[in-house]
Structure 1
């Protein structure tokens, strides 16, 4: 085997000879540690063999008692046992750390993989082995590895939302996020759903029966009649005009009138539709138009709720675009 000269990456701090000596000593210590880890794993397998017959038959109880007695964490001992079983003595690679063996232990072709380090490298690192096994490296380097680490850390919705809220306060990050049309649609959809929920809550509150309308001194003889009349009273209340049409402004009357006209027209037209005669393009055109109508209604609801009448770019795009299918 040709020995490669080890060159110090810190020329001002170490000579090549000093660096090579430290590397040699460190590798020897890691090899000793790996040997001990494998030996403990082998010992646990000798105590209780790994076979279908022993699974679930108190193996953990034995290992737990043994680990406590020799002063080691039982879960650490279980890891040693698992790796020792995955790597029989004749398949272990000298000079390769136990951590690399552990990282590759789940691969079906691990015996071949461990003999072929990544291109340009003379040996496996633990992070390279973890990446090869499809696991998160301890020190993510590529963009995908960093994103995977973030996704793992932010599994809970609450933590993720707080992180996003913090990040989009950085102007450059917010600009890059909103430059993606897909992100714009996702955020607009979430905003749209929030406005719908708020509008539904306001509608329910506006049509809630007033407790003051019910007299407290009603006798027991009228309780049954009152229970039957309650739904009818609520229906009457819901039909009552929401505004005083004699005092309402022309803008309010125009908004209500346009909406009412639209509803009346739909109720008149829908029962008589000959849907089976529509072409696919005609259906798409109608649905596309309805999508823009919904966006306009959401815009109106938002303006009424917040006073903000501005139109963002995404809303302007939705309102202006047509059915551009060929």
Structure 2
């Protein structure tokens, strides 16, 4: 080995081991001191058994006074008191820091707790804080597993502004978005587009992409809503024109003529398209799925023709629920 690899930081390996031995003695002294403070706090305010009424205000005042008199924060004194209550003197382990005792104190079952402190992880000679945190399900300082890293990120991003910034940064990384499933991507888009203004902008931009628009219009419900929106927009524009334009009465007769021509053109287009498509079925038998699809579309065509006849004969263009359901393909 080289001299550099023998070093830990700026000291040699042998000096590092001397420092560790010295500091373990210091930690042991601190552990004894922390337990002494916890024991005296318990003497002043013993923990009551469950179900026994406790004057929490009085306990708080006693702990505040004790903390002030010895120059510690009351939260520190309370932490020492709680840990001391979980570890009777005969169960405290020499050579194990107070921090480890305090963390493992979270184990509710006494026998399990007392056994755990004597059995560090299999690959370790002694407990470290991260291993103890893992044992009780707390967040670790140095996350190793994927789940620990995810938990750490969630905690760091608990602030809404931080979470928004982190999410934005992550979504800019192609290698990250590539690993997100299509289903989860769709959920993210839905969450981001709950706001109507955002949804409108996103939908407009997406439908400007020909391949997206083509696939979207393959969905009967989506196509129905788009067509309905176009009709509704035209109706609103017409109503606005008729309310505000001084020439509206003049063009009303022309409008009727245009609507008549549009309707005749639509019928002619359908007949012409059918005339081209149907002869192609000569000597060909469609599969069951194909026949089902064609019959469903024929039903929509029939319903539409009935609707046209009613509108032409009566002037009523209202669409009942059954017709709307059929046209949507439901």
- TM-score scaled to structure 2, two decimals? 0.57
Shift of 1:192: 5.4
* Cα distance change of structure 1 residues 193 and 53 upon mapping to structure 2, 3 Å threshold: closer
Name the structure 2 match of 1:118.
Answer: 121
Which runs of structure 2 are paired with 1:1-326 in the superposition (5 Å)? 10-12=5-7, 17-51=14-48, 52-107=52-107, 108=109, 109-177=112-180, 180-190=181-191, 193-195=194-196, 241=239, 267-268=319-320, 270=322
Distance 2:118 2:329 in 1: 62
* Cα distance change of structure 1 residues 243 and 133 upon mapping to structure 2, 3 Å threshold: farther
Deviations 1:15-42 (A, max 9, x none): 5543332221111111111111111000
Q: How well do the aligned residues superpose, as a CA RMSD in angstroms?
A: 3.9
Q: Is the 8 A contact 2:42 2:81 kept in 1?
A: yes
Shift of 1:154: 1.9
- TM-score scaled to structure 1, two decimals? 0.57
Distance 1:140 1:37 in 2: 28
Name the structure 1 match of 2:313.
Answer: none
**Consecutive unaligned residues in structure 1, runs of 5 or more:** 1-7, 200-236, 274-285, 291-326
Pick the structure with greater CA Rg. 2
Deviations 1:193-221 (A, max 9, x none): 4458866xxxxxxxxxxxxxxxxxxxxxx
Shift of 1:270: 2.0
Q: Is the 8 A contact 2:99 2:129 kept in 1?
A: yes
Distance 2:106 2:161 in 1: 33
Distance 1:190 1:53 in 2: 47
Query: In structure 1, the residue corresponding to 2:82 is in which secondary structure?
Result: helix
Query: In structure 1, the residue corresponding to 2:178 is in which secondary structure?
Result: helix
* Cα distance change of structure 1 residues 22 and 9 upon mapping to structure 2, 3 Å threshold: farther
**Consecutive unaligned residues in structure 2, runs of 5 or more:** 201-234, 243-251, 267-303, 309-317
Shift of 1:167: 2.3
